[in-house]
Chain A
Amino acid sequence: MINTEKWLYQENSISQQFFLLYILGNTIFTIFYVNHAAVDHNLGLFIMLNIFLSLGSFLVALRQKIYRMSWGYVGIAIAVFQLIRLMWIPEEIIGFMRFVIQALLVFTSLFALIASIICIKRANERQKYVIEHKVDLILLEK
């Protein structure tokens, strides 16, 4: 049986770590993509998008660490977006590199999804525990 009480005090570091893995995977994906895609104005937009995505994902990781359920849903949106990007891989990237980039997108999407599902589940149970046990909110004050 899971001891939910510990989530009142311990951080949700597993979600955070999965989201950090997402950031790492996405950075590698970006590097590979940039090295193999054609140099045009879309590449500039792609780089900017990934910089913002990395910064945003870091924020998501921090919020999920403290059991913010809404940020779990943001994480799911990022995971879905990562899957959508599978359709945007340029045609000039072919062969093994295409496979690596696709794999990176799938894996990073999985990491973001796992992190977010864990966060939502734990945040839910934590909230339920607080209500059921009438936990004084002063207890949760930092």
Chain B
Amino acid sequence: MANLRLKNVNKTFPGEVQAVNDFNIEIKHGEFIVLVGPSGCGKTTVLRMIAGLETTTEGEMYLEDILLNDVAPADRDISMVFQNYALYGHMTAYQNMGFSQTIRHEKPDFIHEKVMEAAVVVELEDKLNRYPKNLSGGQRQRVALGRAIVNKASIILMDEPLSNLDAKLRVQARGELIKLHKQLGNTFIYVTHDQTEAMTMADRIVVMNNGEIQQIGTPIEVYNWPENVFVGGFIGSPPMNFIEGTVEGDMFTAPGLALTIPEKYLAHISSYQNESILLGIRPEHFSIQSGSSNKPVTAEISIKEFIGNHSLVYLQIAGMGYIANVKQKISQSIGDSLEVYFNMNRVYFFDPESGKRIHHEESKL
């Protein structure tokens, strides 16, 4: 059992570059945590600080009750899988996997036992004598994972390990990682900028931006109840549509739009009467079939993409761009008009200045 606690962790690089700002999290043993955010948001820096490859400028990190700040990386009971796998090219997969034990001068029989156990887990038994150059990207990634497993560390850190794989292999590897996590029961801390990876693999997601935590929650929580505009826009593909408008009575008005606000929201946004407010609506909450209490809005189709089981339609309403994800195949052509319905029971309201979501529990879907 090894719970990891990061308390007020800060990292400032020379030149006063604040990479991580007041990072707080408690990670329970066996959790699969995914740090997600755009490039340069500080997620890899957090991972490297946990691994001991970067020092913290401020704050404490505890593994159970042990303060990790001054513990050497090798003594932290933590393994790391790097983005480029960092395999030794002159060593076979077997030697790469057993390397950590070899430098600890473990007996050959012991090393063999550990490597073979790990090889079974990562399904590489028949490729152990291959050099990395003779392995595919997915196999190299599994060697790197195997090396982390051989270490028997409580925590396995992964820095975008799937980013070098093609789309098909990435989907397969994602499934394998989930299976592996269940099998090993270790704590996985995984860094990615791909929100699909985060949503599919995580027990909890940590959304980061500009070195700060924006939201921590389960994939469902982060998707359904985004804390702010950034999370709403970052999680979900295609991203959420944001419309700046005004609350007038029980109506939300914006250029080309006059939408009735459901009663459940009115109490929470009463202070925004006749003031500016930001409405967020996910693409899947548009529809082209009647069923909403609102009147349809006439939009112009600027692009349409038929995906197979659904269609993405890029719409223009009074000069504003929207993306709708509808189940039906769109028969109209580009430039034609389309009547769309806003599902107002599934919208979010945000404060336009702070970007924070205005209502909370009541809006749970």
Contact = CB atoms under 8 A, between A and B. Distances in A.
Nearest to B102: A10
Contacts of A136: 126
A31 B243 CA distance: 87
B209 interface: no
A142 B109 contact: no
A40 interface: no
Interface size class of A (residues with CB under 8 A): 10 to 19
Contacts of A3: 109, 112
B134 A139 contact: no
Contacts of B111: 6, 10
B364 to A, nearest CB: 54
A118 to B, nearest CB: 13
A138 interface: yes
A139 B128 contact: yes
B94 A9 contact: yes
A139 B129 contact: yes
Contacts of B128: 9, 139
Q: Which 4 A-B pairs have the closest CB atoms?
A: A6-B112, A9-B94, A3-B109, A139-B126
Nearest to A141: B129
B130 interface: yes
Contacts of A139: 125-126, 128-129
Given A6-B112, A136-B126, 8 more contacts: A3-B109, A9-B95, A9-B112, A9-B129, A139-B125, A139-B126, A141-B129, A142-B134
B131 interface: yes
A5 interface: yes
A21 interface: no
B130 A10 contact: no
A8 interface: yes
Interface string B123-164: 001101111001000000000000000000000000000000
Contacts of A5: 112, 116
A140 interface: yes
A122 to B, nearest CB: 12
A109 to B, nearest CB: 27
Interface of B: 92, 94-95, 108-109, 111-112, 115-116, 125-126, 128-131, 134
Contacts of B116: 5
B335 to A, nearest CB: 58
A14 to B, nearest CB: 10
A96 B34 CA distance: 71
B94 to A, nearest CB: 4
A8 B129 CA distance: 8
B108 A142 contact: no
B131 A9 contact: no
A19 B103 CA distance: 22
B112 A142 contact: no
A9 B126 CA distance: 11
Given A3-B109, A9-B92, A142 B126 contact: no
A10 to B, nearest CB: 6
5 contacts: A5-B112, A9-B128, A10-B111, A141-B129, A142-B92
A9 B108 CA distance: 11
A141 B112 contact: no
A138 B92 contact: no
